[in-house]
Copies of this chain bind each other. A is one copy, B any other.
């Protein structure tokens, strides 16, 4: 169980120049994306770097929902810059890209596939030392500031995969709720759904004592180790915050209390799933994002089709938890209660349906598209969606209930329409 350092508070971003001074950083790489480079979070960082005289180079070419190509571009920048510290300002796309850049710049002779998760890559353990990375999240979803995971689209294979190692975890996460005040409504909603699924999946993941293989040498154990007594604390705590604040945060950008709490919940859920792992919603989300056709979500200022990560994750959640509830139904029922279900007369064998119904109502209240059909998929796409899920063993193996290809087909089919 490894947990990153985080600092929380309105305005704490302005301390980042001091942090870099304390790290004796002389050549800093500041990563962000083109949208953010003009916005207040990046400005806050730039002001602090200037105030403390920190020498830096900015890379603002991060792609929202990054690919192997966009990772490689950032890696090239990092290798050339010979940086001694990194600062990532953005959502999960930026922070993940920065982790990859730091990793490969610190291990310059490695092939890109060396550290990519098996079976797609070689999944080699990281033994090199990385440079310090300070992450400043500007969305409230990925929790990437607390995890050792970096996700990207492997274009050639049309599948999302990633790099997972404790070694790439940021040195410090700066959780500054001021950065969330300018988030548009759909970005708050979708990133909040990512938090919701991180919490639900890590709480219902296969227990750490049942995971296999369980390498005898601790250094070889995966970052995602199954649900455990510590990740449970974070998952439940994050879920309670989502239940209390997500709707408020989506509906009212002025609700500072709600937005601040969701920003913390994102980090809390990150600490939970970063150790326990996620399972089917995430495993199935990667092809949902990777095979996107023409869907362009509201509020996202990008020039390509895109299923936002949080949306791709949450659309299958009713079907997934109805499926997994036969293992640990009491945890599914507990989650439903936290999300507002009245379970006083509930039967434990109905736990999955109750959680599924609760989730459907929650998504309906938040104006979520009516299932995979509403974002452009039809029954004919199911074989490709299943095929894209199969290589996601790293997470699907953490499902408490094993699943066949037929099970996956049925889950995608049940997710075509929600309401």
**A22-B217, A229-B264, A233-B233 known; A5-B2 Cβ under 8 A:** yes
Q: A218 contacts which of B1, B4, B19 (Cβ < 8 Å)?
A: B19
Does residue A228 face the partner (Cβ distance < 8 Å to B)?
yes
**Number of A interface residues in the complex (CB < 8 A):** 26
A8, CB-defined interface residue at 8 Å: yes
Contact between A237 and B228, CB atoms less than 8 A apart: no
Within 8 A of B (CB), among A2-50: 2-9, 15, 18-19, 22
| Across-interface contacts of A1 in B (CB, < 8 A) | 5-8
Check A22/B219 contact, CB under 8 A, given A1-B7, A3-B3.
yes
Q: Mark A61-99, 1 if CB is under 8 A from B, else 0.
A: 000000000000000000000000000000000000000
Chain B contacts for A373, CB-based, 8 A: none
**A 209-241 binary contact with B (CB < 8 Å = 1; else 0):** 100000011110000000011100110010000
The closest CB in chain B to the CB of A22 belongs to B219
Residues of chain B contacted by A228 (CB below 8 angstroms): 8
CA distance A18 to B233 in the complex (A): 28
Smallest CB gap from A271: residue in B: B3
Q: Would you give 19 A-B contacts (Cβ < 8 Å), ordered by A? A: A1-B8, A2-B5, A3-B3, A7-B218, A8-B228, A8-B230, A9-B209, A15-B217, A15-B218, A18-B216, A18-B217, A18-B218, A18-B219, A19-B218, A22-B217, A229-B264, A230-B268, A233-B237, A233-B268
Q: Pick the 9 closest A-B CB pairs, nearest first.
A: A3-B3, A22-B219, A2-B5, A18-B217, A233-B237, A1-B6, A15-B218, A229-B264, A19-B218
Extra 17 A-B pairs, beta carbons < 8 Å, given A18-B217, A18-B219: A1-B6, A1-B7, A2-B5, A3-B4, A3-B5, A6-B230, A7-B218, A8-B228, A9-B209, A15-B216, A15-B217, A18-B216, A22-B217, A22-B219, A229-B264, A230-B268, A233-B237
Chain A residues within CB distance 8 Å of chain B: 1-9, 15, 18-19, 22, 209, 216-219, 228-230, 233-234, 237, 264, 268
